[in-house]
Amino acid sequence: MSVVAIDFIPMTVADLEWVAAQDRLLYPFPWSRQNFIDSMVAGYGCWTLFEDGQRAGYAVLMMVLDEAHILNISVCQARQGCGLGGRMLQHLGDVARAAGATQIFLEVRPSNEAALALYKKVGFEMIGRRKGYYPALNGREDAVVMRHLL
């Protein structure tokens, strides 16, 4: 059995076309290429996940004092369900902890049942709701606010 190489590399301009294209495939209301550029310029932790040298996911992590906030975390459709989301969450937690964070937050659509299940599995807990947070096909959708203590 071969060992799969998993690498988390800081996102570069060379990743942006792929990342933005993946976001368009994954979400009805995706981030734009400019959203990712703005995150990089702001100094947020922007990561590309490579699996055996191939891009397979990406994430954006914002640090504020002793808190981390996952702004975007995504695994390309072909690699979902293979454990990469959990590996990415572990990586983001390690980065946040090393930067002095004591907790990590995220928002997720209540309709994203797979993501909710993953977040709960790795120790995130629901701490609130943001009414009408996300654009939706028929108006707005709430966000479930989740926290994981590091």
Cα 96 versus chain centre, distance? 13
- Residue 81 and residue 48 in contact, taking contact as beta carbons nearer than 8 Å: no
Q: Give 3: exposed, middle or buried? Use CB within 10 Å, 0-12, 13-18, 19+.
A: exposed
Active-site residue flag, 125? no
Q: Which residue of the set 44, 51, 58, 119 is catalytic? A: 119
Q: Which residue of the set 107, 125, 133, 141 is catalytic? A: 107
- Residue 29 and residue 83 in contact, taking contact as beta carbons nearer than 8 Å: no
Active-site residue flag, 44? no
Q: Which residues are catalytic?
A: 107, 119
